[in-house]
A and B are shown apart, each in its own frame.
Chain A
């Protein structure tokens, strides 16, 4: 058990490094020269060159072999010279050690590259500055977390409970008109773009009826409509997912046994099925956790909520690459951590996993 936990903890490192590598490859390799993108369409070569210098895009991408070689060569010559002087008793052994130490350090310049620069920065939780506002990105994120959570947490919690309740209902009355109606509603709901829900919701309830404010983040009133839209847009997919899980459990042998020993429908549903369905439910919940953080990109920018989602959308519109880079990376790290926590929860919830 302890060995499993330790192994699982260490597995986070290669994944996190991989994520950083992936995001780096996206922003610095696949898209071509980032300096050209940042400079815009009608930039002079001088301007592009200048951008390259300021952001360090002129450095090698992964390993700075050239720099390392250039540093190592003189250090090696130095070391040889000091060693010769030591042999002829001109200097003490300490000088030789110093030269040797310099020689060992010289090849470290191989890490003077764009990728390792970012690794060093991010390890110190320094995500750089926004190109647009020149604010620190870590500061912007700290400001954006609360509004985002105000929107996404209620959506997440309400959706989860409503979907599970309806899924249990569907599983209980499976293949009746009630079940079929919910299945049809959920599949219809899934087939409409989230953007359409937002546009229609905002148009009818904020503009036509004037029940809710259209734009801003100043009170509970401002949150209600986005939350309602978020729940309605997402419930179809969730309901279908949880219904599948519940039905999978309903056909298991233990359900038949429970009925056979005389347990009531209610008991079977809540005591047996729901408990066994907890693990797939937990998995799905974790998958949705980064969504809490990234916020709902579209909801936030439609309703003018100053959260992380809107920050991301603005960064895409203005080409603010450091912000995008940091957002994508942090979103992924949160997912990795959430995944880790689930796996640890599994070992607690399901003893079978400990044996594997």
Chain B
């Protein structure tokens, strides 16, 4: 009896932040926890792949995943090569691991464009309103009017094949969703008493926008990032197919496209490996993203359904 009373007293004393309540709710979702574990494994693989890549690059040697062994071309999966080998006898497992690296790099670099752009424009539009809002709404309506796959293709095509094109293309197109959500939040928070209090105490617009309101919308950025990540991976495959994808490195899109002709010759392990590697990450991220949204902000309307 006294024990529970002490417990609840401790609970009451401890401030209940958004994050701690969210984490408690997230933890209850067993499937999401498993998926979080899967994502953590992928992060580990990503770090490993990054180290393999940089090790070879700094030593100026051919990295292990690019070593061709023409004696073992298109080899079946075996104990030596768990996922078989490709047309040049390179180990598929090593390439899949590098695919994790490429996928994470694309996601991080794209987010480095998407998040600042979407956040700043959304915050400006929501906070200042009036003509700033009108202009930014016009801007995102315009970007949103172009079917996203076409604008991503166009930008990647003009920028040139490779990582740069993909990242700039997706970054300059995908900010719209975040911008919309952030704008809505800023519109809401602008009316709150704490903003008026901060203004009354003499805080400038920029301070209110970035120091006072921004922490209250931070969770949206995390949700959007988690839900956008799988879409980046799936888009990369399409871009690779259209010939504006990664070059010279084994991304999953490149592997799936390389496997296109060889599938008809009965080489299924290349396609299978890349699809499986992609599948688990995309699935885990989708589920974690949904659970995060449910835990942090159940009313948030994130765009769903992808058309390509």
Please give me the residue from chain B that is nearest to A238 by CB atom. Answer: B305
Surface stretch bound by A, among B76-84, B153-161, B207-215? B153-161
Contact B138 A14 (CB under 8 A): yes
Say whether A331 faces chain B, with CB atoms less than 8 Å apart.
Answer: yes
Give the residue of A30, A187, A191, A195 whose beta carbon is less than 8 angstroms from that of B159.
Answer: A30
Say whether A190 faces chain B, with CB atoms less than 8 Å apart.
Answer: yes
Give the residue of A203, A291, A294, A324 whose beta carbon is less than 8 angstroms from that of B263.
Answer: A203
A23 and B157 alpha carbons, distance in the complex (Å):
13
Contact B146 A297 (CB under 8 A): no
Count of chain B residues near A, Cβ 8 A: 46
Contact B304 A237 (CB under 8 A): yes
Shortest distance between the CB of A121 and any CB in chain B (Å): 19
Say whether B184 faces chain A, with CB atoms less than 8 Å apart.
Answer: no
Say whether A46 faces chain B, with CB atoms less than 8 Å apart.
Answer: no
Say whether B150 faces chain A, with CB atoms less than 8 Å apart.
Answer: yes
Please give me the residue from chain A that is nearest to B252 by CB atom. Answer: A193
A335 and B148 alpha carbons, distance in the complex (Å):
11
Give the residue of B146, B242, B259 whose beta carbon is less than 8 angstroms from that of A19.
Answer: B146
Contact B146 A332 (CB under 8 A): yes
Give the residue of A14, A190, A194, A335 whose beta carbon is less than 8 angstroms from that of B147.
Answer: A335
Chain A positions within 8 Å of B259 at CB level: 199
Contact B256 A194 (CB under 8 A): no
Contact A287 B307 (CB under 8 A): yes
Surface stretch bound by A, among B101-109, B120-128, B280-288? B280-288
Give the residue of A37, A194, A332, A335 whose beta carbon is less than 8 angstroms from that of B238.
Answer: A194
Known: A193-B278, A194-B238, A336-B145. A15 touches B150 (CB 8 A): no
Chain B positions within 8 Å of A196 at CB level: 256, 271, 275
Q: Which of A188, A191, A284 has the most CB of B within 10 A?
A: A191
A339 and B275 alpha carbons, distance in the complex (Å):
36
Shortest distance between the CB of A324 and any CB in chain B (Å): 6
Contact A15 B286 (CB under 8 A): no
Chain A positions within 8 Å of B260 at CB level: 199
A328 and B156 alpha carbons, distance in the complex (Å):
14
A312 and B238 alpha carbons, distance in the complex (Å):
13
Contact B138 A26 (CB under 8 A): no
Chain A positions within 8 Å of B241 at CB level: 195, 298
Chain B positions within 8 Å of A1 at CB level: none
A290 and B145 alpha carbons, distance in the complex (Å):
9
Contact B141 A18 (CB under 8 A): yes
A312 and B147 alpha carbons, distance in the complex (Å):
13
Say whether B243 faces chain A, with CB atoms less than 8 Å apart.
Answer: yes
Please give me the residue from chain A that is nearest to B153 by CB atom. Answer: A316
Known: A19-B145, A187-B286, A290-B147. A26 touches B256 (CB 8 A): no
Contact B234 A37 (CB under 8 A): no
Say whether A288 faces chain B, with CB atoms less than 8 Å apart.
Answer: yes
Could you give, for residues 277-308 of chain B, a 1 whenever the CB lies within 8 Å of some chain A CB and a 0 otherwise? 01100110011000000000000000011111
Say whether B244 faces chain A, with CB atoms less than 8 Å apart.
Answer: yes
Main SS of chain A's interface residues? helix
How many residue-residue contacts, CB under 8 A, span A and B? 142
Chain B positions within 8 Å of A40 at CB level: none
A34 and B154 alpha carbons, distance in the complex (Å):
13
Give residues of chain A (2-24) contacting chain B, Cβ–Cβ below 8 Å: 14-15, 18-19, 21-23
Tier of interface size on chain A: 35 or more
Chain B positions within 8 Å of A195 at CB level: 237-238, 241, 256-257
Contact A193 B158 (CB under 8 A): no
Please give me the residue from chain A that is nearest to B242 by CB atom. Answer: A316
A192 and B237 alpha carbons, distance in the complex (Å):
11
A240 and B265 alpha carbons, distance in the complex (Å):
36
Say whether B22 faces chain A, with CB atoms less than 8 Å apart.
Answer: no
Give the residue of A192, A291, A327 whose beta carbon is less than 8 angstroms from that of B275.
Answer: A192
Say whether A241 faces chain B, with CB atoms less than 8 Å apart.
Answer: yes
Contact A191 B307 (CB under 8 A): no
Give the residue of A31, A187, A190 whose beta carbon is less than 8 angstroms from that of B306.
Answer: A190
Contact B279 A298 (CB under 8 A): no
Contact A327 B150 (CB under 8 A): yes
A271 and B150 alpha carbons, distance in the complex (Å):
39
Contact A15 B282 (CB under 8 A): no
Say whether B142 faces chain A, with CB atoms less than 8 Å apart.
Answer: yes
Chain B positions within 8 Å of A200 at CB level: 263, 271
Contact B141 A30 (CB under 8 A): no
Give residues of chain B (126-166) contacting chain A, Cβ–Cβ below 8 Å: 138-139, 141-143, 145-147, 149-151, 153-155, 157-160
Say whether A207 faces chain B, with CB atoms less than 8 Å apart.
Answer: yes
Shortest distance between the CB of A64 and any CB in chain B (Å): 23
Contact B155 A191 (CB under 8 A): no
Shortest distance between the CB of B151 and any CB in chain A (Å): 7
Give the residue of B151, B243, B305 whose beta carbon is less than 8 angstroms from that of A240.
Answer: B305
Chain B positions within 8 Å of A188 at CB level: 279, 283
Chain A positions within 8 Å of B171 at CB level: none
Give the residue of B138, B145, B256 whose beta carbon is less than 8 angstroms from that of A335.
Answer: B145
Chain A positions within 8 Å of B146 at CB level: 19, 22-23, 328, 331-332, 335
Known: A241-B304, A327-B150. A193 touches B142 (CB 8 A): no
Known: A31-B158, A294-B147, A316-B244. A203 touches B264 (CB 8 A): yes
Chain A positions within 8 Å of B159 at CB level: 30-31
Known: A30-B168, A191-B279, A240-B304. 9 other contacts (CB 8 A): A190-B306, A191-B230, A191-B283, A199-B260, A199-B263, A203-B263, A287-B307, A316-B153, A328-B151
The 6 closest A-B pairs by CB, nearest first: A31-B158, A18-B142, A237-B305, A191-B282, A191-B283, A241-B305
A residues in contact (CB < 8 Å) with B: 14-15, 18-19, 21-23, 26-27, 30-32, 34, 37, 187-188, 190-196, 199-200, 203, 207, 234, 237-238, 240-241, 244, 284, 287-288, 290-291, 294, 296-298, 312-313, 316-317, 324, 327-328, 331-332, 335-336, 339
> Could you list some 12 contacts between A and B, CB below 8 A?
A18-B139, A18-B145, A19-B146, A31-B158, A187-B287, A191-B279, A191-B282, A195-B241, A196-B271, A238-B305, A332-B150, A339-B145
